[in-house]
């Protein structure tokens, strides 16, 4: 059986832990999929929130040599600093003692593997916290245009006021006389008119589960779905995609809508389970042409000093950086995961959110 010195054992733990935490835990990431990674070593980032129109060119007489002067589209530049997340998992001498490391200078490889497995599981659990936080940032950016940050402030992307539609009984699917097509067309026309989406592509309608239930039970929807000669609706459960489930398709006017639900949940700081997709609401957007990114800024770290044995402070570039800090006095080692990330959406008019059902209906 392979024997290792204590120094070799702890070196193997570090190497193995760094390799094993690259395994991505199975966390739902429906919103996250629409935010491609942008990794940089900078402190912050600049970006522009743009709004353009659908104008056509003006013709000019052949005799004139002057062109029509056009103004640049309206935009607003933003400088933002991603929040800093730092969490750690530690192992003391007593943790090592329970796994036989530290009792002598000679350690069995199997004992190292036991310790490594425990560290790996704890670090993977910690990684899921980062994954869920990224998903929550993306959900907030798409649903509200605002991303609450860890310091209590909120980054506001300034969505159009009419793109976040408050509850109105005229759009309540649970009311028998309400035709859901009115709300669908209102939202789709906003996406085409202000969001500049291609109206010929399918539009995703992400529904809270009780909104979907109200839609399916709506008498006007049921009557329309019962047409025998041709199919305007196909309400059949489809495939699961990163935690969301396709519930079917419906056509209204010139648009085709893909209905989805997303039961993904997280626990807030109070330990309460919360759905990423808020209850009573639905979100409409086109998956093509979105201009989003998950920006990763640089994190502080210690760099190797080429002129001496002591490390020097510096900046590490990466999505998540794993650092090991041994504490000789305390006979312990701490593994720290550092990350600075921020969900950024630039085309803010490409989302419309509607509160379909009353959040606090009268008794």
pLDDT, tens only, 270-288: 889 999 999 999 999 998 8
Rg of the chain (C-alpha set): 27
Q: Give SS3 for 295.
A: strand
Cβ distance 178 to 217 under 8 Å?
no
- Tell the residue number behind the tokens 């969301």, with chain if given: 244
pLDDT exceeding 90 applies to what percent of the chain?
Answer: 32
Quote the CA–CA distance of 187 and 213 in Å, as a whole number: 20
Q: Give SS3 for 210.
A: helix
Q: What is the DSSP string of 151-190?
A: TS-EEE----GGGEEPP-GGG-TTSTT--HHHHHHHHHHH
Cβ distance 347 to 50 under 8 Å?
yes
Give the pLDDT score at 62.
Answer: 47
Which among 275, 278, 218 has a CA at the least distance from the CA of 250? 218
- 129 or 174, which is more confident: 174
Centre a 10 Å sphere on the Cβ of residue 300 and count the other Cβ atoms it contains.
Answer: 14
Quote the CA–CA distance of 277 and 257 in Å, as a whole number: 18
- 152 or 207, which is more confident: 207
What sign does the CA torsion over 42, 44, 46, 50 have? positive
Which among 347, 344, 244, 241 has a CA at the least distance from the CA of 290? 347
293-347 tens-digit pLDDT? 999 988 877 777 666 667 777 777 888 887 777 766 666 677 788 888 899 998 8
How are beta strands 37-39 and 299-303 bridged, if at all?
unpaired
Quote the CA–CA distance of 208 and 201 in Å, as a whole number: 23
Quote the CA–CA distance of 11 and 329 in Å, as a whole number: 19
Q: Which helix (H) or strand (E) holds 146?
A: strand 146-148
207-227 tens-digit pLDDT? 999 999 999 999 999 888 775
The mean pLDDT value for 99-123 works out to: 56
For domain 1-52+82-363, the CATH architecture is: 2-Layer Sandwich (3.30)
Kindly report the pTM of this predicted structure: 0.77
Q: What is the DSSP string of 4-38?
A: EEHHHHHHHHHHHHHHHTTSPP----TTGGGS-EE
Give the pLDDT score at 269.
Answer: 80
Give the pLDDT score at 209.
Answer: 93
The secondary structure of residue 256, as a DSSP letter, is E
Please enumerate, as own/partner, the contacts of 360-363 that have beta carbons within 8 Å and a separation of 24 or more.
Answer: none
């Amino acid at each position: 059986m392979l024997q290792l010195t204590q120094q070799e054992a702890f070196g193997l733990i570090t190497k193995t832990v760094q390799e094993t935490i690259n395994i991505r835990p199975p966390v739902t990431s429906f919103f996250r999929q629409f935010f491609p990674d942008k990794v940089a070593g900078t402190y912050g980032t600049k970006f522009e929130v743009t709004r353009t129109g659908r104008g056509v060119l003006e013709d000019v007489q052949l005799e004139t040599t002057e062109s029509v002067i056009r103004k640049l589209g309206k935009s607003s530049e933003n400088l933002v600093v991603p929040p800093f997340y730092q969490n750690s998992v530690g192992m003391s001498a007593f943790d090592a003692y329970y796994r036989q490391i530290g009792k002598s200078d000679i350690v069995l490889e199997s004992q190292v593997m036991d310790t490594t497995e425990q560290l790996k599981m704890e670090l993977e659990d910690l990684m899921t916290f980062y994954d869920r936080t990224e998903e929550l940032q993306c959900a907030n950016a798409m649903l509200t245009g605002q991303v609450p940050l860890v310091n209590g402030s909120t980054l506001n992307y300034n969505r159009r006021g009419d793109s976040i539609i408050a509850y109105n009984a005229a759009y309540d699917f649970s009311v028998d006389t309400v035709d859901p097509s009115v709300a669908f067309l209102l939202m789709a026309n906003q996406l085409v008119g202000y969001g500049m989406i291609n109206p010929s592509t399918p539009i995703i309608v992400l529904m809270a589960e009780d909104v979907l239930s109200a839609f399916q039970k709506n008498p006007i929807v049921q009557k329309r779905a019962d047409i025998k000669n041709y199919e305007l609706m196909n309400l059949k459960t489809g495939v699961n995609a990163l935690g969301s489930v396709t519930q079917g398709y419906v056509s209204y006017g010139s648009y085709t809508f893909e209905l989805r639900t997303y039961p993904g949940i997280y626990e807030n700081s109070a330990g309460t389970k919360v759905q990423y997709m808020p209850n009573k609401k639905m979100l409409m957007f086109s998956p093509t042409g979105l201009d989003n990114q998950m920006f990763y800024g640089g994190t502080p770290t210690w760099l190797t000093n080429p002129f001496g044995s002591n490390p020097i402070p510096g900046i590490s570039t990466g999505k998540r950086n794993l650092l090991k800090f041994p504490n000789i006095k305390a006979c312990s080692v701490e593994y720290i995961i550092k990350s600075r990330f921020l969900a950024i959406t630039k085309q803010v008019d490409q989302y419309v959110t509607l509160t379909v059902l009353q959040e606090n209906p009268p008794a």
